[in-house]
Structure 1
Amino acid sequence: MSLEDAAVTVLKRAVEMDTCSRFQESLICYQEGIQILLNVLKVTKDESKKTAYREKIDQYMNRAELIKKRVNQDKEEGKYHEQIKIKENDTGYSFERVFKPYISENLTEVYVEDPYIRSIHQLYNFLRFCEMLLKASCKVKTIRLLTSLDEGENASQQKSALYEIEESLKVHGIVLTTEYSSTIHDREIRFNNGWIIKIGRGLDYFKKPKGRFSVGYCDYDLRQCHETTIDVFHVKHTKIM
């Protein structure tokens, strides 16, 4: 794919997200697309193409600036709300895609409240979420998990897996603390940069792959999803615990 094609793809998604009022995600796509177009402009020699690129860049920059002002104003007034609806069998909703727009350099602490981090695939989902944070452009130092304790013999398996994740994260300078509640019901993820993400199914919104060697087994962007709704809010002061 050429740089120009890449720019078209990213900017097309930016417009789609803009149309759906998913402003934070559209802003990131606009910024990425504009940067790619600037790189294209640098290597273009045709003056007519340069003029066309500059006009497009100005157009997208103006729209991105308007979105940025709107998002910042809504955040300041505490009324920011964005909703993402995932349809049955949809793909393209990996943790990276869903959470990236809300991760920033000043993010240092994450609180996960999800009653279903118990079975093997749910524990793997949580691990993948932690890995996503490790690779993101932030400085997360603490992850706090509140979940329910599995029953019977499965409880020891759950505790063992979470302890293993805890020890693994320590190597990367991240402290994981886990608490169990028998009355927990809500599912939400809070970032201490102000973002709150509520997912109807929690982190368990991916469908089971058809086989270990089927598309989507490793790449969650290619994994089919269950129908669910994601609500995103922003508050000035986020209480983690």
Structure 2
Amino acid sequence: MIFDTEPNNWKELQNFVGQIFRECGFPTEISKVVQLVRGKKEIDVFTQDIKSEYKPHILVECKFWNKPVNQETIHSFRTIVNDFGANTGFIVSKNGFQSGSYDAVKNTNIRLVSLKELETEYYNKWKQGMVERYMTYADRLFPYWDYSGKIPKDGGTIDFYTQQLIYSAYKPVCGLGPSDKAENGFQRNYPIRVPMIDDNLRQIGSEIINSDRQFFDFVERNKDKALKHFKILYREW
């Protein structure tokens, strides 16, 4: 799934939800005040699915309650969604919904979900968004590890073993490719073990990646370090 941890309070739940949409590549705002037919209302998460054909606006209400969400809350949110003219509204609840709640949203544009259900709903778009975010970094590394005949600026040679060590250390970044951007295109088998290297290009340990979240967190932490170490090898640093 998208997250390896659970939110501990309402604010974290709100931020988790916002992070999902933001990492999908959607413009997203937290605690946005919107204009309704009768006044204004603060929305927990406001986003727009710009990847879909009709680019729907989405409003999200986050409920970190110790009890199920009641029907009155659902009816109130449905009015807000309709008054704003949003295409879809989600209520994300920590502890589910009261009996009859799902009947209350039949034939409406309101969805009642847990955080995990929301993650499942947007999992593929999230993966696509994360791949798109980091493809630029993968592209700039390609000439350094591809067998295309790149040589150092001084015209000398490089050590093949060290090149392969750097590639192995940053394979999560180097290995991102166009096919990963397709729906269901990004698939990795975990655990993935990668060597850790220092600025002398020597292995100093290893790291294990166990999930998609850890994979992209690794890419974020190492996207610039990977280029630095290839540049050191090619004597460009």
Task: Give TM-score, length-normalised by structure 1.
Answer: 0.26
Larger Rg: 2
Query: Structure 1 or 2: larger strand share?
Result: 2
Task: Give TM-score, length-normalised by structure 2.
Answer: 0.26
